């Protein structure tokens, strides 16, 4: 036999290029003891390539397809349709038909067969591509079989398959199709089995969907299946569906729908013994492939046949190492307002800062099992989570109601304890001291200390290179933890937060005013993040007077960052504008979207990222807007302060209440702005270190060790240190890490998950919200209506006054956009995350933590944001 056709038992995972993902997996299963796979063979990709590769017209159309964007749906549909017509019209050559006929002779040429597509980009660990190509059942006769093989080849170019490949970054010209042909099983029941619960992602739960007849009725959504859940060999849940019809093989070939009689409609499809046996088969297959599987099965004459098994690619990896105990992992990204995947070098620097941090799926987590196992730890977490992220708090409360889960929590040293992180008696002493003295000069003194620290860091690192540089970073960076969590610094943050909560609590109690601190926190001193947004208005003022500069800015998103300033210098007014931008970058150029990842390109590296915001500022504001906006915020805050104090004076015990409120408002304004400074300090330190590492990477490029200097981002720090020491690098590791990162980018990290992989969801109390409103966290008071501008990238944020920004998260880099908008909606965040702090200072109604906001709210829709009660209405 030639390599145009292979028997299933001749195929294994090494033959994906010939047999496609489905064929390779079935070939593995066919040789696995105890697993029944229908006999069959595979018409390989070599046959597909021979039949299509020399067709010039066909290859030209595939080339056209590769040039289209995913938005070009009409063109995609037209070109794909032409390709399918051409492939179906191709006559399979005689020598390939002969090889197929030889295998049919062995299996029974007059039998019925299932004909299934198996693409080379299918059923892979990174992407399942489930259901993208076609399957044909109960095919009889050689001519009909050949015709349906051609139909399978053509289904490689269905609209859905082409679009799916575009979305996942697969080259249309480099994906080929094999066809699996198997003896038809005429099952009494069939269905799908997931060896990890597809709803909760719990790896200990097998979920089985089952219906009568062929499984295609379930796959096509024609019937509601029974669902059984099995955990540790015990059926823990069963849902028996009302099954009105089933799909069966038709006598003349193909399939047909048949109505079920009344008695069978409510009958359990599988017996309990069959459910448990099938679950054991699933665990066997999962163990063989080494990861959770999505399995298609069918039952005939008390035997289970497996007709497909693919990896479940949507599961988020589990942090930590299994130890048989229950762990509770909470997302750091949701707390830091950055849920994107982080490259290995970026993860390393977080691991330097926090020894208890865990990584999974390119994200950061902390295990709070030890705290939740302790009554004291639970109390601290309850207070912390309620303020930080109500959805996280709700999820943890759900877990704590499970007695068996709590009993098996891992026990050990708590994270939330005195002496851990920034919790210390020294911190407590500083909090008391700062609160009592209420001295705003303390903030200025600490900022000066931070500036001095960074100056010293620059001086120390400047002369270092090679192993000496990386040894210095390894020793010095952990000291940054001490500087970052310095008791004076954390003390100011905590005193500011206490004052914020106290003002809100007392004004609600005494005056019935919700979120009173929001107005009082406008135009704060020492808020480095809000200042960054306002100061870009001065840069806009420098640029607005030069038409040639503005014309260049309109196309600068296509400009080369390396020549940006040189290009500007050739224009009238360009040197003056360059000087203004460079002065801004000297103060803020180390910032960027997703800045907690040290590998992200900074504004210093990509100055064109500022251009869209500059154009928006020029369009939306008059000259001198920075000072006008800041002074207006000051007036509003002072007016509100006087109003509150005057009203308090009229109450019983009013003088004492007014005196207490005045002190708390003073503390609030003196210290809450500093909340933003520690992160600014961290990103400044990171920029100094990043520059030094990139200089070293450039040396490695010159030596031929690296291809491009940015490849160091895919190495953990210890690996990079070893490359510098040895001058050697395995580029296979870089390729592997880049592929992993692409997978991680597509995953959605959970707020809370367990060591079983279960994603635990929280919920808001929506009882007092309007019907259909999207619930969230009220983080900045006020109600505003306007046009929703749904944006995922800060550099694309061209907004108009009156727009409401809707996005996944906002970190400090988004602050310049806040100047132009009138409201904010984010999927991630809480009361004290950066977006909330800046929204309050700018007086923007804001709601955070609105799950799936960017999917549920469409760009351009009119919406109402209620930042006082915490919900969004689509109008």
Active site residues: 834
Measured in whole angstroms, the distance separating CA 717 from the mean position of its chain's CA atoms is 23
Long-range pairs for 27-36: beta carbons < 8 A, 24 or more residues apart: 28/288, 28/289, 29/285, 29/288, 29/306, 29/309, 32/284, 32/285, 32/288, 34/281, 34/284, 35/281, 35/284, 35/285, 35/306, 36/303, 36/304, 36/305, 36/306
Q: Is 774 helix (H, G, I), strand (E, B) or coil?
A: strand
From 443, 440, 446, 458, select the one nearest 483 (Cα to Cα): 446
Distance in angstroms (rounded) separating the CA atoms of residues 466 and 478: 20
Tell me the three state secondary structure of residue 440: coil
Q: Where are the beta strands (DSSP E) in 224-325?
A: 226-231, 234-239, 245-249, 255-259, 293-300, 303-311
Output the DSSP codes for 721-745: HHHHHH----HHHHHHHHHHHHHHH
- Measure the CA–CA gap between 278 and 269, rounded to whole angstroms: 13
Alpha carbon distance 525, 434 (integer Å) = 17
854 with 534: CB under 8 angstroms?
A: no
C-alpha to C-alpha distance for 377 and 385, rounded to whole angstroms: 12
Residues with Cβ within 8 Å of residue 827, at least 6 apart in sequence: 807, 808, 809, 849, 850, 851, 852, 853, 854
Residue 330's Cβ-side half-sphere holds a number of Cα atoms within 13 Å equal to 26
Cα separation, 600 vs 694, in Å, equals 12
Q: Residues near 265 by Cβ (< 8 Å), separated by ≥ 6?
A: 242, 243, 244
Cα distance between residue 821 and residue 801, in whole Å: 6
User: Sheet of 774-775: strands edge to edge?
Assistant: 774-775, 871-874, 862-866, 783-790, 803-807, 823-826, 846-848, 777-780
DSSP state, 367?
Answer: E
SS3 150: helix
Nearest 5°: the CA angle 779, 780, 786 is 115
β-pairing, 177-183 with 357-360? unpaired
Pairing between β-strand 205-212 and β-strand 189-194 as defined by DSSP bridges: antiparallel
What phi and psi values does residue 340 have, to the nearest 5 degrees? -70, 160
Q: Who contacts 302 (Cβ-Cβ below 8 Å, separation ≥6)?
A: none
- The answer to whether 845 and 784 are in contact (CB under 8 A) is yes
**Separation of alpha carbons 311 and 292, rounded Å:** 6
């Amino acid at each position: 036999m030639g390599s145009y056709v292979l028997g299933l038992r001749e195929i294994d995972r090494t033959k994906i290029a010939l047999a496609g993902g489905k064929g390779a997996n079935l070939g593995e299963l066919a040789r696995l003891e105890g697993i029944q796979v229908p006999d069959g063979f595979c018409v390989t990709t070599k046959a597909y390539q021979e039949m299509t590769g020399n067709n010039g017209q066909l290859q030209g159309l595939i080339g056209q397809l590769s040039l289209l964007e995913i938005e070009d749906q009409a063109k995609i549909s037209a070109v794909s349709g032409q390709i399918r017509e051409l492939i179906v019209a191709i006559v399979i050559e005689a020598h390939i038909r002969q090889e197929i006929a030889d295998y049919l002779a062995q299996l029974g040429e007059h039998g019925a067969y299932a004909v299934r597509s198996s693409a080379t980009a299918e059923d892979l660990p990174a992407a399942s591509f489930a259901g993208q190509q076609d399957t044909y059942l109960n095919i009889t006769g050689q001519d009909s079989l050949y015709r349906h093989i051609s139909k399978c080849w053509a289904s490689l170019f269905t609209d859905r398959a082409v679009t799916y490949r575009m979305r996942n970054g697969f080259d249309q010209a480099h994906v080929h199709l094999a066809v699996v042909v198997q003896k038809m099983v005429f099952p009494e029941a069939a269905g799908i089995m997931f060896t990890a619960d597809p709803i909760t992602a719990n790896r200990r739960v097998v979920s089985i969907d089952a219906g009568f007849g062929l499984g295609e009725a379930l796959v096509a959504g024609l019937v509601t299946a029974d669902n059984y859940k099995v955990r540790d060999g015990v059926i823990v849940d069963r849902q028996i569906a009302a099954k009105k019809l089933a799909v069966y093989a038709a006598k003349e070939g193909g399939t047909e729908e048949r109505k079920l009689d009344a008695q069978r409609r409510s009958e359990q499809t599988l017996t309990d013994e069959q459910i448990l046996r099938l679950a054991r088969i699933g665990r066997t297959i999962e163990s063989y492939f080494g990861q959770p599987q999505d399995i298609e099965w069918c039952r005939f004459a008390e035997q289970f046949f497996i007709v497909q098994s693919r990896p479940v690619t949507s599961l988020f990896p589990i942090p930590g190492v299994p130890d048989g105990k229950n762990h509770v992992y909470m997302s750091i990204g949701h707390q830091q307002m950055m849920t994107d995947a982080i490259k290995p070098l970026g993860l390393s620097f977080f691991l330097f800062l926090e020894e208890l941090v865990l990584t999974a799926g390119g994200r950061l987590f902390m295990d709070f099992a030890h705290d939740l196992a302790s009554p004291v730890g639970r109390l601290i977490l309850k207070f912390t989570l309620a303020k930080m992220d109500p959805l996280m708090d709700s999820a943890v409360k759900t877990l704590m109601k499970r007695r068996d889960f709590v009993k098996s929590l891992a026990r050990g040293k708590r994270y939330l304890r005195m002496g851990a992180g920034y919790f210390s008696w020294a911190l407590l002493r500083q909090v008391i001291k700062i609160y009592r003295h209420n001295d705003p000069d303390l903030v200025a003194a600490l900022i000066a200390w931070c500036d001095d620290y960074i100056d010293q860091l620059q001086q120390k690192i400047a002369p270092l290179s090679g192993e000496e540089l990386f040894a210095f970073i390894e020793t010095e960076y952990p000291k940054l933890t001490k500087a970052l969590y310095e008791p004076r610094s954390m003390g100011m943050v905590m005193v500011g937060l206490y004052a914020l909560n106290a003002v809100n609590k007392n004004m609600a109690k005494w005056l019935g005013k919700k979120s009173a601190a929001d107005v009082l926190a406008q135009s704060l001193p020492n808020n480095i993040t809000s200042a960054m947004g306002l100061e870009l208005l001065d840069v806009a003022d420098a640029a607005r007077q030069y038409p040639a500069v503005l014309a260049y800015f309109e196309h600068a998103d296509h400009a080369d960052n390396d020549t940006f300033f040189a290009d500007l210098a050739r224009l009238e007014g360009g040197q003056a504008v360059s000087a203004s931008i460079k002065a801004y970058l000297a103060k803020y150029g180390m910032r960027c979207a997703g800045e907690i990842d040290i590998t992200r390109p900074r504004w210093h590296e990509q100055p064109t990222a500022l251009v869209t915001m500059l154009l928006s500022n020029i369009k939306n504001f008059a000259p001198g807007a920075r000072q006008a906006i800041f002074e207006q915020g000051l007036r509003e805050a002072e007016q509100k302060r006087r109003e509150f104090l005057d009203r308090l004076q009229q109450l019983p015990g009013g003088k004492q209440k007014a005196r207490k409120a005045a002190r708390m408002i003073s503390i609030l304004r003196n210290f809450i702005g500093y909340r933003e400074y520690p992160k600014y300090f961290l990103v400044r330190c990171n920029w100094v270190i990043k520059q030094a590492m990139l200089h070293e990477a450039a040396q490695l490029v010159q030596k031929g060790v690296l291809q491009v200097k940015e490849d160091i981002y895919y190495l953990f720090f210890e690996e990079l240190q070893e490359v510098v020491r040895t001058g050697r690098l395995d580029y296979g590791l870089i390729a592997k890490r880049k592929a992993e990162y692409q997978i991680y980018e597509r995953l959605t990290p959970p707020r809370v998950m367990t060591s079983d992989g279960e994603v635990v969801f929280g919920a808001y109390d929506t009882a007092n919200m309007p019907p259909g409103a999207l619930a969230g966290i009220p983080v900045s008071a006020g109600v505003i209506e306007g046009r929703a501008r749904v944006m995922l990238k800060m550099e694309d944020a061209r907004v108009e006054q009156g727009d409401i920004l809707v996005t996944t998260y906002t970190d400090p880099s988004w602050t310049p956009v806040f100047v132009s908008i009138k409201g904010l909606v984010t999927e991630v965040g809480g009361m004290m995350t950066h977006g909330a702090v800046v929204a309050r200072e700018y007086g923007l109604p804001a709601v955070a933590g609105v799950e799936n906001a960017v999917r549920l709210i469409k760009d351009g829709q009119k919406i109402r944001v209620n930042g006082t009660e915490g919900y969004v209405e689509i109008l």
